């Protein structure tokens, strides 16, 4: 994998404070040519699963050789491991707290290592604070990987088993899929963990959630304004939406709510 020089950042740091800016400063101090792209900093605080969900669906839109750093890290300062992963031509750095489970499940992992302190010491990554590893450990590691001075293999020993994700994968039956709402986007779309690939077994289907049934459409504008619908969104997962409105504002469904797909097979 030739490094692209691009580093994406996914955190729960928000936009109010200088946390993200300072992470970028720490990257640029080691690798002045880095191209830093914000994936999102509005992950619900302390929800690694939400970060992993988005990262697993978003990474492939970046150039091969991109380093994706995800820091949603309630265990910062404890003995939790840090993972470096190479998969499908991309590199990933995150705490080993379930965040990378959806990436490892969907991409082809070639290399999964637990970053060790000897490797950090060789890179001069020392005296990290107890509470801000995004700046003190992830940023310098990302810089070194993104400029090609080091490979994930040199960061530690391979790990066979990583911490599993918090959100279970959907239950798949012959005529039924049972998943959950994992995140709600800016438009109020309720996004599930039901991948489009699972729907292909059905010739048609409807979706139940919160005691309501939703018909499936191709795009938002295929239903009249104000109407609820389900569609396979552009990240190839099922979502509950409302044409020119917010489904979240109109329905009392929140993160974790169960979603059932009832399929028909001709």
138 lies in the binding site for its own copies (CB under 8 A): no
Enumerate the β-bridge partners of residue 135.
none
Closer CB to its own copies, 214 or 220, in the complex: 220
Residues 197-226, mask of contacts with its own copies (x by CB under 8 A): ---------------------xxxxx----
d(CA 86, CA 98) in angstroms, rounded, equals 16
Residues 52-71, mask of contacts with its own copies (x by CB under 8 A): --xx--x--xxx--x-----
CA angle 84, 194, 68 (to 5 degrees): 20
d(CA 255, CA 253) in angstroms, rounded, equals 7
Structure token pair of residue 84: 């470096």
Choose, by CB under 8 A, the member of 97, 99, 100, 135 that binds its own copies.
135
Choose, by CB under 8 A, the member of 117, 204, 213, 244 that binds its own copies.
244
47 lies in the binding site for its own copies (CB under 8 A): no
Q: Are 71 and 95 in contact (CB under 8 A)?
A: yes
| Burial class for 255, CB neighbours closer than 10 Å (0-12, 13-18, 19+) | middle
35 lies in the binding site for its own copies (CB under 8 A): yes
d(CA 36, CA 39) in angstroms, rounded, equals 10
231 lies in the binding site for its own copies (CB under 8 A): yes
* Binding residues vs its own copies (CB under 8 A): 4-6, 8, 10, 13-22, 24-26, 28-29, 32, 35-42, 45-46, 54-55, 58, 61-63, 66, 74-78, 129-132, 135-136, 183, 185-187, 218-222, 231, 233-234, 244, 246
């Amino acid at each position: 994998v030739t490094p692209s020089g691009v580093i994406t950042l996914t955190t729960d740091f928000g936009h109010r404070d200088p946390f993200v800016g300072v992470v970028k400063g720490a990257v640029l101090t080691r690798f002045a040519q880095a191209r830093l792209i914000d994936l999102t900093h509005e992950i619900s605080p302390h929800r690694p699963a939400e970060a992993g969900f988005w990262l697993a669906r978003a990474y492939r839109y970046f150039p091969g050789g991109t380093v994706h750093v995800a820091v949603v890290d309630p265990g910062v300062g404890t003995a939790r491991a840090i993972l470096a992963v190479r998969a499908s031509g991309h590199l990933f750095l995150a705490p080993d707290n379930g965040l990378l489970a959806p990436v490892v499940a969907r991409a082809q992992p070639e290399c999964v290592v637990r970053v060790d302190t000897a490797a950090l010491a060789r890179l001069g990554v020392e005296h990290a604070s107890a509470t801000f590893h995004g700046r003190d450990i992830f940023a310098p590691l990302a810089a070194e990987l993104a400029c090609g001075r080091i490979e994930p293999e040199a960061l530690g020993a391979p790990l066979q088993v990583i911490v599993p994700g918090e959100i279970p994968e959907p239950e798949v039956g012959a005529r039924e899929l049972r998943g959950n709402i994992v995140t709600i986007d800016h438009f109020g779309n309720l996004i599930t963990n039901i991948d489009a690939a699972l729907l292909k077994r059905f010739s048609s289907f409807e979706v139940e959630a919160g005691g309501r049934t939703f018909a499936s459409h191709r795009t938002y504008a295929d239903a009249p304004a104000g109407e609820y619908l389900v569609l396979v969104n552009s990240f190839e997962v099922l979502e509950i939406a409302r044409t020119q409105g917010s489904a979240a504002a109109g329905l009392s469904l929140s993160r974790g709510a169960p979603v059932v797909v009832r399929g028909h097979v001709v």
